[in-house]
Structures are given as C-alpha cells and as structure tokens.
Amino acid sequence: MKIAIASQGNTLNHNIDLQFGHCAFFVIYDKDSGGMEISPNPFRDAPKQAGLQAVKWLASQNIKTLIAGDFGPKVQPLLDQLSIQLIVLKKPDTRIQDIINLLNQQ
C-alpha cells in the first residue's frame, strides 16, 4: 500500500506540511516493500486548484492514503470519489520520520 505524506522539506527530518495542495514535497512511502520516494510537489506554486491537481497526480501513482496537516474543502469529495483515505494530523511539529515509525509499528 502506498502512502503519500505532505512534507515541508526533502529529508525525513523535516516536519509534516500543514497544507496539502501547496506543500513543498511529497514523501511517497510503500508500506509493503519499505521503499520510499521523495518528490517535489509540481503544483506547489499553482495559483488555484493546487490540491485538486495534486490529488489527480498522486492518484495516478496508485496512492491509497494521504497524510497532511490540513486539506482544503474541494479536495475531500474528489478523494472520496477516488477512494483515497485521508489522515489529518494537526501536529505541526511531527517529523516525517515519526510518521513512518508509527506506520511501521502496525
């Protein structure tokens, strides 16, 4: 299962990004294989609908779960439609590494 996490930077020591659409990087973590990929968000500076475009881009990479600090109101219906699960973590000081540790605990 592939999980995308909105991140403020390109290392695991950066914090989770509180905004989804305009976040700096996406950390794409494959829980089954343990593989990880960090890619810059191509829609970071999009003037509008960054969230919607980012969702479509992530959906095309078979992502089933999204983790970010917050999501805009337009994004959720689209995610419901694509059956992508949302996890909202309203803790700005959480590092990406902490999230991956949590995921690996299961």
Partner 1 sequence: MPRIKTPRKLSGLPAIKGFRPYGPDIDKQATAIVLHFEEYEAFKLCDYEGLNHSAAARLMQVSRPTFTRIYASARNKIAQAFAEGLAIEVEGGTVYFDSNWFQCNFCGCYFNQIDPAQPVETCPLCGKKHFQQMEVAELANIQTN
Contacting positions for partner 1 (CB under 8 A): 65, 67, 70-71, 73, 76-78, 80-81, 83-91, 99, 102-103, 105-106
Tell me the H-state helices in 3-49: none
Whichever of 38 and 78 has its CB closer to partner 1, that residue is 78
Closer Cβ to partner 1, 54 or 99, answer by number: 99
Output 40 or 69, the one with its CB closest to partner 1.
69
> What token pair was written down for 98?
């902490």
Q: What is the dihedral of CA 28, 54, 76, 86, to 10 degrees?
A: 10
Mark 33-67 as b/e (b = at least 16 C-beta within 10 Å). Answer: eeeeebeebebeeeeeebbbebbebbbeeebebbb
Given the structure tokens 């500076």, which residue do they identify? 45
Beta carbon nearer to partner 1, 61 or 87 = 87
